[in-house]
C-alpha cells in the first residue's frame, strides 16, 4: 500500500501548510487540497460512493469559507508567554501520540477486519432489499432511521443560518 | 461586491450556457441510478445544487432571482421532507416503521428494490434545495457600516 | 499499522491548530481537518485486503467485499460536517460585523 502512504504524507504536508500560513485565502486553498487528497484515498480504499460525496461537499466548504474570509484582514500579534504555551501544547500532543501508539497495537491488522454485522448484510442484502448497491441498501433500508436524523440536521442548519443572518436585530 | 451586478465576463457566460444542462443531467442520472451504481440521494442532490450555484455565480443575482427565488426552493425542500416521512409512516400499516413494502423486482433493473428509488428522490430534493438556500443566504447579506450597528 | 499512525498525525495537526491559533477562521480550518482525519480512520478500519467494491455486478471475479457498514456511517457524517461548517461560518461572519475583528482575545474585551 505504498500509494496510500504517499497520499497520506501529501495530506499531512498540506495540512501543515494550511495551519502555518498567514494569508487566510492561501490556507483555505490548502485545506481544499487536503480534501481532494482524501477523495483520492477513498477511491484507493474501494469506496466510490464516498469519493463522489467528499469531492462535491468539499467544493461547497471551500465556497463557504472563501465567502467568509474575503476582504477581511488577519491581525497577527504574539503577546506574552508565547514560548511557554507552545511548549505545553507540544508536550500534550506528544503524550497523546504515545497513548495512540499503545492503542494501535491492539487493533486488528490493517486489511483483516472483524466484520460480524456486515456478514449478514453482504449475504442477505440482495435477497431482502433487491438493491445491488449494498451501501444504498444499508442507508435506506436497514438503517433508514439514521437518514431521517440526518435530513433533520440539514433542515435545522438551514433554519439556523437563516436565523443568524437576519438584517434586523431583536431590539435596538 | 459592486462588480457583480452583471455577472462575469463573456467567456464564462458562454461556457456556462453550454455545460450547465449537462451537469444537471449528470446529477439526475446519479440520483435515479442510486440503487445500481454508486451515488444515491446525497451525491446527486449536492451536484444539482452546484449546478444552480454555477448559474448564479456566472450570471449575477438579479437575473437568477427572476426564475428561482427563495420561496420556490423552500417549497421543494418541504416537499422532499414530507415525502420521506409519508413513505416511512405508511410502513407502519403492515409491519414496522420504515418497512420496505413495495415489490422488489429483478436486480440490475431500474424499477427494482421497492421503495429505495423513491427515498433517493426525496433525499435529492431536500439536500439540493437546502444547500442552495444556504448559499443564497450567505451571499445575499450586505455588510452594513460599522456606525450603523452600535 | 503505520497507516493508522499517519491518520492520527493528521488528527493531531488539526488539534494543534484549534488549540494555538487566535484567528477564528483558523479554528474553523482546524475543525475541518479533524473531521477529515476521523472519516479517514473509519474507512481504514473497515478495509479488507484484496477486497472488492461493495456493489454486486453480473460478472464477479473477486468474491470478498470491503465492509459496507462504516461507509454508510461516514456518508451521513460527511453531510453533517458540511451543515456544521456552514453554521459556524455564518456565526463567524456575524461576529466580524459586530466586533470588527476575528481575534478571539479581543472579542471578550469589547462590549457589543
C-alpha cell at B82: 414530507
Give the model's confidence band at A8: pLDDT under 50 very low, under 70 low, under 90 confident, else very high: very high
Q: Evaluate whether B33 touches B121 at the Cβ level (below 8 Å).
A: no
A19 touches chain C (CB under 8 A): yes
Mean pLDDT for the stretch of residues A32-38: 95
Q: How far apart are CA A114 and CA B99, in angstroms?
A: 29
In chain A, % of residues over pLDDT 70: 90
What integer pLDDT is reported at residue B97 of this predicted model?
A: 62
Contact between B106 and B112 under an 8 Å Cβ cutoff? The reply is: yes
Q: How many domains does chain B have?
A: 1
Task: Report the distance separating Cα B104 and Cα C83, nearest Å.
Answer: 34
Q: What are phi and psi of C55, to 5 degrees?
A: -135, 125
**Residue B148 maps to a domain:** no
Burial category of A93 from C-beta neighbours within 10 Å (exposed 0-12, middle 13-18, buried 19 and up): middle
State what percent of residues in chain C have pLDDT above 90: 47
In a domain, C101, yes or no: yes
Three cell numbers, residue A80: 506574552
Axis-axis angle for helices A48-69, C24-45 (nearest 10): 180
Tell me which DSSP letter residue B145 carries.
Answer: P
Task: Tell whether the model's pLDDT for residue A170 goes beyond 60.
Answer: no
Pick from A9, A57, A110 the residue to mutate for testing the C interface (most C CBs within 10 Å).
A110
Average pLDDT, chain A: 86
Give the dihedral sign, CA A75/A78/A79/A82: positive
Structural domain boundaries, residue B45: 2-141
φ, ψ (nearest 5 deg) of residue C51:
-90, -170
Decide if pLDDT at A55 tops 50. yes
Q: Give which of A50, A61, A144 to mutate to test B binding, by max B Cβ within 10 Å.
A: A144
Q: Does B32 touch chain A (CB under 8 A)?
A: no
Distance from CA of A91 to the nearest CA of B (A): 40
Q: How far apart are CA C8 and CA A99, in angstroms?
A: 11
CA angle B38, B42, B46 (to 5 degrees): 110
Q: Model confidence over C32-77: pLDDT tens digits?
A: 999 999 999 999 988 988 888 888 887 777 778 888 999 999 999 9
Q: What are phi and psi of C23, to 5 degrees?
A: -95, 140
- Please tell me the distance from the alpha carbon of residue C8 to that of residue C43, in angstroms, as a whole number: 13
Please give the tally of structural domains in chain C: 1
The C-alpha atoms of residue C64 and residue A99 are separated, in whole angstroms, by 33
Nearest chain B Cα distance for residue A114, angstroms: 24
Cα distance between residue A67 and residue A60, in whole Å? 11
What does the pLDDT read at residue A108?
85
Query: How does residue B149 score in pLDDT terms, banded at 50, 70 and 90?
Result: very low
Q: What is the pLDDT of residue A36?
A: 95
Q: Quick check: B46 and A56 in contact, CB under 8 A? A: yes
**CB contact at 8 A, C40 and A38:** yes
Interval A56-73 mean pLDDT? 86
Give DSSP secondary structure letters for A5-53.
HHHHHHHHHHHHHHHH-SSHHHHHHHHHHHHHHHHHHHHHTT-HHHHHH
The nearest CA of chain A is from the CA of B126 a distance in Å of 8
Q: Is C41 on the interface with A (CB under 8 A)?
A: no
Q: Work out the minimum CA distance from B2 to partner chain A, whole angstroms.
A: 13
User: Is B122 within the bounds of a domain?
Assistant: yes
Q: Which three cell numbers stand for residue C65?
A: 467485499
Listed range (B3-17, B39-53, B100-114) with the worst mean pLDDT: B100-114
* DSSP letter, residue B68: S
Question: Closest Cα to residue A65, out of A36, A30, A20?
Answer: A30
Give every CB contact of residue B42 below 8 A, 6+ residues apart in sequence: A53, B123, B127, C75, C79
- Polymer length in residues for chain C: 112
Residues in chain B: 150
Residue C112 counted as domain residue: no
| pLDDT greater than 90 at residue A17 | yes
Mean pLDDT of A31-60: 94
Residue of chain C minimizing CA distance to A145 = C76
Most confident of B83-87, B110-114, C28-32: C28-32
From residue C25, alpha-carbon distances to B123, B131, B133 in Å are: 31, 21, 22
Q: Please list the residues that pair with A111 across neighbouring strands.
A: C48
Chains that touch C (3 or more CB pairs under 8 A): A, B
Whether B148 has a pLDDT exceeding 50, the answer reads: no
Q: Which residue of B has its CA nearest to C58?
A: B108
Q: Could you report the per-residue pLDDT of A109-161, keeping only the tens digit for each?
A: 888 888 888 888 888 888 777 788 889 988 988 888 899 999 999 999 999 99
As a whole number of angstroms, the distance between CA C96 and CA C92 comes to: 6
What pLDDT band is residue B150 in, cutting at 50, 70 and 90?
very low
C85 in a structural domain: yes
In a domain, C15, yes or no: yes
Looking up residue C22, the CATH number of its domain turns out to be 1.10.287.3510
As a whole number, mean pLDDT of residues B98-127 equals 76
Q: For C103, which residue in chain A has the nearest alpha carbon?
A: A75
Nearest to A158 among B85, B100, B130 (CB): B130
Amino acid at each position: 500500500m505504498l500509494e496510500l502512504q504517499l497520499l497520506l504524507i501529501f495530506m499531512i504536508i498540506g495540512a501543515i501548510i494550511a495551519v502555518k500560513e498567514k494569508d487566510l485565502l492561501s490556507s483555505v486553498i490548502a485545506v481544499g487540497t487536503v480534501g481532494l487528497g482524501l477523495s483520492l484515498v477513498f477511491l484507493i480504499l474501494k469506496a466510490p460512493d464516498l469519493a463522489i460525496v467528499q469531492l462535491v461537499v468539499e467544493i461547497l466548504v471551500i465556497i463557504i469559507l472563501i465567502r467568509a474570509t474575503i476582504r477581511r484582514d488577519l491581525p497577527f500579534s504574539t503577546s506574552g508567554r508565547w514560548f511557554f504555551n507552545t511548549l505545553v501544547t507540544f508536550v500534550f500532543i506528544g503524550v497523546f501520540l504515545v497513548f495512540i501508539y499503545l492503542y494501535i497495537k491492539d487493533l486488528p491488522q490493517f486489511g483483516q477486519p472483524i466484520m460480524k454485522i456486515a456478514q449478514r448484510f453482504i449475504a442477505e442484502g440482495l435477497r431482502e432489499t433487491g438493491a445491488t448497491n449494498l451501501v444504498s441498501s444499508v442507508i435506506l433500508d436497514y438503517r433508514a432511521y439514521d437518514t431521517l436524523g440526518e435530513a433533520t440536521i440539514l433542515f435545522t442548519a438551514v433554519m439556523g443560518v437563516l436565523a443568524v443572518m437576519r438584517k434586523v436585530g431583536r431590539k435596538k | 461586491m459592486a462588480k457583480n451586478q452583471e455577472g462575469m465576463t463573456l467567456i464564462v457566460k458562454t461556457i456556462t450556457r453550454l455545460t450547465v444542462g449537462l451537469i444537471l443531467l449528470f446529477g439526475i442520472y446519479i440520483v435515479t441510478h442510486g440503487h445500481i451504481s454508486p451515488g444515491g440521494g446525497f451525491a446527486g442532490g449536492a451536484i444539482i445544487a452546484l449546478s444552480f450555484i454555477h448559474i448564479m455565480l456566472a450570471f449575477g443575482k438579479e437575473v437568477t432571482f427572476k426564475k428561482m427565488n427563495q420561496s420556490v426552493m423552500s417549497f421543494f425542500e418541504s416537499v422532499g421532507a414530507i415525502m420521506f416521512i409519508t413513505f416511512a409512516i405508511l410502513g407502519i400499516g403492515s409491519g414496522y416503521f420504515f418497512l420496505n413494502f413495495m415489490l422488489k423486482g429483478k436486480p440490475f433493473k431500474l424499477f427494482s428494490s421497492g421503495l429505495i428509488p423513491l427515498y433517493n428522490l426525496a433525499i435529492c430534493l431536500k439536500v439540493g434545495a437546502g444547500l442552495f438556500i444556504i448559499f443564497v443566504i450567505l451571499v445575499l447579506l450586505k455588510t452594513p457600516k460599522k456606525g450603523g450597528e452600535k | 499499522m503505520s497507516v493508522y499512525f499517519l491518520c492520527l498525525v493528521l488528527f493531531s495537526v488539526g488539534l494543534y491548530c484549534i488549540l494555538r491559533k487566535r484567528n477564528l477562521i483558523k479554528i474553523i480550518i482546524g475543525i475541518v481537518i479533524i473531521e477529515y482525519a476521523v472519516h479517514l480512520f473509519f474507512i481504514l478500519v473497515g478495509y479488507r485486503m484484496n477486497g472488492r467494491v461493495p456493489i454486486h455486478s453480473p460478472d464477479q471475479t473477486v468474491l470478498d467485499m470491503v465492509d459496507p457498514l462504516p461507509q454508510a456511517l461516514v456518508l451521513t457524517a460527511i453531510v453533517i460536517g458540511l451543515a456544521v461548517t456552514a453554521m459556524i461560518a455564518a456565526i463567524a461572519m456575524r461576529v466580524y460585523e459586530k466586533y470588527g475583528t476575528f481575534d478571539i482575545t479581543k472579542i471578550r474585551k469589547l462590549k457589543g
